[in-house]
Amino acid sequence: MVNGEYDIEYFKENEFIRKKCEKCSSYFWTRDKDRKTCGDAPCEIYSFIGTPIFKERSPDEIRELFLSFFEQHSHTRLGRYPVVARWRDDIYLTIASIADFQPFVTSGKVPPPANPLVISQPCIRLEDLESIGKSGRHLTAFEMMGHHAFNKRGVEEIYWKNETVKYCDEFLKQVGVAIESVTYKEAPWVGGGNAGPCLEVITGGLELATLVFMDLELSPRGDVTIEGQQYRKMDTYIVDTGYGLERFVWASKGTPTVYDAMFPEVISELVNAAGIEHPLEKHPELIITHASLSGSLKRGEIAKRLSVSLESLTNILGPIETIYAVADHTKCLAFMLADGIVPSNAKEGYLARLILRRTFRMLKFLEIETPLEELVLMQIKTLRNSFPELETSVDRIVEIVSLEKRRYDETLLKGERIIQQLAKEYKAKADRKIPLERLINLYDTHGLPPEFVKDVVSNITDLKAGSGVNVDVPENFYTLVARMHSEERKDDVEPFVESMKEKTKAIPATIKVYYEEPSAVDFEATVLDVVDDSVILDKTLFFPEGGGQPADTGFLTLVTKGESSAASVKVVDVQEVEGFILHKIENGKISKGATVSGHIDPTRRIAHKKHHTATHIVVCAARKVLGDHVWQAGAQKGEKRARIDIAHFKRISDAERKEIEMLANKTVMENLEISTSFMDRNDAEQKYGSRIYQGGVPIGKKIRIVRIGEDEDVQACAGTHLSKTGECGPIKILRTERIQDGIARLEYAAGEAAIEAIQAQEELIRKSAAVLKVPPEQLPSEVERFFKEWKQLQNLSERLRKDRAELKLPQLKGRTRFQDEYADLPLPTIKATEPLKEGIGIIIEAIPEANEKELKNISSQLERDGYPNMLIGSSYADSKVKLISSVPSNVSGVINASEWAKPVSAILGGRSGGTATFAQGGGNRMDKINEAREAGVKFIEKRLKKKKK
């Protein structure tokens, strides 16, 4: 860091001394002339354990003290943001208070919602999952109290380092901290492409706050080097502070861990449910000493200090540490689920499911039968005074958690077979070890925790001692997995887009006439440039593809002396790149500088407008019916139909589909006004919240807001829309489906397309009724009658086939082949475990009109009786031929079922697969049955001759 970054006037005015820590060599500032260390763990122990730093205060009291203090110092208090970062397209969870204002405010593109401001932001970080419960201080869910000032170079400064340190000192005094004990440790901060000087605020061995002075950004030509990377000064410089609410509460109570300070009621409930005793009651001195040393020494060193074995100390602490982790995780889940995260296999849903399943596993280890949803509700009860909004989601949380438990149990049940097969695979390998990459894949793909994998492998009876498979689970396994899924993985920018940026550097942004004149279909413009096969105009009515809405199509016609010439080109695609719009053309050329008249396809445009408007209406209706957790996960609008993917934790029922459809059409019939306007981003966020980002996060200071009625639905949206909901016409939901875990899809049509869809459904009903010769209203009962009769006929057919199979067996056994040659084979050659039965031969037959099930029944019975067999079933109903082959295991070394089936299936026009004892195949060459049967016979002839030699 550049010299002088920490030469802060406040330190000089208040007689601070800059010293170098004798243990870690870090520089720090202190009022204590005799201090020799920075005060931070591990350089010092936690001296506040058992002797609180200041008067005991609750979380609510600490929070209000902080917010009020900064309000009194001209800061504007802001309410919390959700823990799911809907306003970001790079991360899923809110990891710090400054994340509320990234990237647009911190980059200077958008002014802050207030300046300066103060906020107490619930955050979630999954970077240290293996430390939760064990370290005494790590949390997944925590509250970061922060005050922020956003400065811009060349503009009057709000405040910077001096005032920040002064505020910190004054607040600590107000709380009751002995100010002489406080040290300010220099620790340059790096994160998210930014960096800056940082002061860690420490007392009693505990870091209470971090004061970051963010003023650097990554740059290959930067003149500041931090951790081997180059940085340069930003145009903005930002006060980014983080005061740990939980740390302050812990310091005020002096409990052994932060968990004891924050979750006493939940921990007490868990201790009772587990049927254990809190070790603090049985081993008070040991627990207090261990807690005091936990920040500065490793557990083995602490055990030596306490004169106990490491195993004994681990056994004492193990159960309560797991309880601590459960208490932490239930708070994390309360915020995640209440703020609308739906557990799934992707994005933020993946992280929620990770925490859920980790907690299920810990509850099982503790033998706690209390349902997890009850523990989450207990956390909500303790938090309701501070966060009353959490209670509005109680019913949904109960349903989600109980459903996730059922899914988790089903996953483990299915997973045993997968793991058993995997163990056999790795038993044959040199090191007999399942690698970490495979364990992560098992968790990602099948949801199988590595501990479960290890348990299953260790219980496989045919893996003898000394020849088993090793499963080493790294302590930080879940941290590694969480880190892999904590950020949005963006695809590389297409080379086309990159080349367009280079080619159009000097071209001004295209004027978007489709916003200014939404009903127009004709316009006139000047060609600014022609790049490859695309034309760039100074203004356009053509809407570019975006937000799930396809591009407009139409024509561009050259204009000569005010009149249109016959020279027209077709516009087949429209794309926007960095503010300018590319019109891809066909059937002609247009030169730079030409004047053109443009004409868009009005039928296509109006269909897209109706379906885009219908999308907003359907999502709004779905949210009312299914819950506030509904969030758009993808959309596509077309001329004849559209679809919307939403976050939802189960299938949409028929009743829910009908209700969504009815609500959507009521909105249409109310003929509500649809207004569009560009708003300041901060004003829009403060007025409507992050729900405006349903369709994604637009960039820029100004964002286009689409409102239906009196805020019936509000979204930041760049698409084209109708002026009133009544213009949309009827909305028909065509179908719903669960396309992936946590995502439901609604497909629908609007306007004329909806009428066409309804008419098509009516025609299907009419034709179906005509086939059955009944009126449409009798169709359900008649279909049900036919289905019952069909089932009865199926059952009768199965019984007849079974009887036919029993009758067939004696006939087939009477037509064996190679009886003498087969029986005379030397026993060692055929690996027989007992002499062959007299009269046993090989059966190769074709059975007309035999289905697969019948063939399998006959074949397996023959195999049980000792007959190697190949049966070919022909079905003239579907013109398919099915082949089944079964071979007794004691002769599979001579006659391999899989090898036998291959040439026969090839002649039948298909393929086969299987094992040495069972194979199946077939094809569609009904005319080749006899030839295929003879191929099977020849295969056996060759095999038997070869073995006899």
Could you tell me the pLDDT band of residue 828, with boundaries at 50, 70 and 90?
Answer: very low
Three-state DSSP at 152 gives strand
Q: Look at residue 890 in the predicted model and tell me its pLDDT.
A: 75
Averaged pLDDT of the chain:
87
Q: What is the pLDDT of residues 303-332, one digit of tens each?
A: 998 899 999 999 999 999 999 999 999 999
* CA Rg value for the chain: 36
Angle value at C-alpha 150, between 148 and 155, nearest 5 degrees: 150
φ and ψ at residue 841, rounded to 5 degrees:
-140, -165
Q: Look at residue 599 in the predicted model and tell me its pLDDT.
A: 95
Omega within 30 of 0 (cis) for the link into 388: no
* Cα 748 to Cα 621: distance, rounded to the nearest angstrom: 13
φ and ψ at residue 326, rounded to 5 degrees:
-65, -45
Q: What is the pLDDT of residues 695-706, one digit of tens each?
A: 788 877 888 999
pLDDT at 878 over 70: no
Q: Are 549 and 720 in contact (CB under 8 A)?
A: yes
pLDDT at 876 over 80: no
3-state percent helix, strand, coil for the chain, nearest multiple of 5: 45, 25, 35
pLDDT at 675 over 90: yes
Could you tell me the pLDDT band of residue 793, with boundaries at 50, 70 and 90?
Answer: confident
Q: Are 105 and 112 in contact (CB under 8 A)?
A: yes
Could you tell me the pLDDT band of residue 449, with boundaries at 50, 70 and 90?
Answer: confident
Percent of the chain surpassing pLDDT 70: 93
* Cα 370 to Cα 360: distance, rounded to the nearest angstrom: 11
* Cα 312 to Cα 303: distance, rounded to the nearest angstrom: 9
Three-state DSSP at 291 gives helix
Instruction: Kindly write down the DSSP assignment for every residue of 698-750, as one continuous string.
Output: --SSEEEEEEETTTTEEEE--S---SBGGGG--EEEEEEEEEETTEEEEEEEE
Q: What is the pLDDT of residues 102-153, one digit of tens each?
A: 888 888 888 899 999 999 999 999 988 889 999 999 999 999 999 999 999 9
Measured in residues, the chain has a length of: 949
What mean pLDDT is predicted for residues 679-683?
88
What mean pLDDT is predicted for residues 51-57?
94
Q: Look at residue 835 in the predicted model and tell me its pLDDT.
A: 45
Q: Are 544 and 536 in contact (CB under 8 A)?
A: no
pTM of the predicted model as reported, rounded to 2 decimal places: 0.79
Q: Look at residue 612 in the predicted model and tell me its pLDDT.
A: 94
What mean pLDDT is predicted for residues 382-394?
92
Q: Look at residue 440 in the predicted model and tell me its pLDDT.
A: 83
Percent of the chain surpassing pLDDT 90: 51
* Cα 717 to Cα 616: distance, rounded to the nearest angstrom: 10
Could you tell me the pLDDT band of residue 824, with boundaries at 50, 70 and 90?
Answer: low
Q: What is the pLDDT of residues 220-270, one digit of tens each?
A: 888 888 888 888 888 899 999 999 999 999 999 999 999 999 999 999 999
pLDDT at 386 over 80: yes
Rounded to the nearest 10 degrees, the angle between the axes of helix 752-772 and helix 602-626 is 70
Residue with the larger pLDDT of the pair 547 and 731: 731
Q: Look at residue 505 in the predicted model and tell me its pLDDT.
A: 64
Instruction: Please give the DSSP secondary-structure letter assigned to residue 730.
Output: -
What mean pLDDT is predicted for residues 406-417?
86
Q: Look at residue 490 in the predicted model and tell me its pLDDT.
A: 53
Three-state DSSP at 804 gives helix
- Read off the tokens for 762: 């009516």
* Cα 917 to Cα 866: distance, rounded to the nearest angstrom: 12
- Read off the tokens for 331: 């708070």
pLDDT at 624 over 80: yes
Q: Look at residue 462 in the predicted model and tell me its pLDDT.
A: 53
Q: Look at residue 71 in the predicted model and tell me its pLDDT.
A: 97
Q: Are 66 and 120 in contact (CB under 8 A)?
A: yes
Q: Are 708 and 620 in contact (CB under 8 A)?
A: yes
Q: Look at residue 879 in the predicted model and tell me its pLDDT.
A: 73
Of 105, 190, 93, 99, the closest CA to residue 149 belongs to: 105
Q: What is the pLDDT of residues 463-476, one digit of tens each?
A: 444 456 777 777 77
Could you tell me the pLDDT band of residue 171, with boundaries at 50, 70 and 90?
Answer: very high
Q: Look at residue 877 in the predicted model and tell me its pLDDT.
A: 61
* Cα 599 to Cα 553: distance, rounded to the nearest angstrom: 9
* Cα 29 to Cα 210: distance, rounded to the nearest angstrom: 14
What mean pLDDT is predicted for residues 191-198?
83
Q: What is the pLDDT of residues 26-44, one digit of tens each?
A: 999 999 999 999 999 999 9
Instruction: Please give the DSSP secondary-structure letter assigned to residue 630.
Output: -
* Cα 626 to Cα 649: distance, rounded to the nearest angstrom: 10
pLDDT at 747 over 50: yes
What mean pLDDT is predicted for residues 590-615?
92
Q: Look at residue 270 in the predicted model and tell me its pLDDT.
A: 95
Q: Look at residue 579 in the predicted model and tell me its pLDDT.
A: 81
Rounded to the nearest 10 degrees, the angle between the axes of helix 284-293 and helix 310-338 is 70
The count of C-alpha atoms lying within 13 angstroms of the C-alpha of 15, restricted to the half-sphere facing its C-beta, is 5
Lowest mean pLDDT of 21-30, 531-540, 937-946, name the range: 937-946
pLDDT at 483 over 90: no
Q: What is the pLDDT of residues 537-586, one digit of tens each?
A: 999 999 999 888 999 999 999 887 555 456 789 999 999 887 889 999 98
What mean pLDDT is predicted for residues 65-73?
97
pLDDT at 736 over 80: yes
pLDDT at 492 over 50: no
On the 0-12 / 13-18 / 19+ scale of CB atoms within 10 A, 788 is exposed
Q: What is the pLDDT of residues 81-90, one digit of tens each?
A: 999 998 887 8
Residue with the larger pLDDT of the pair 375 and 813: 375
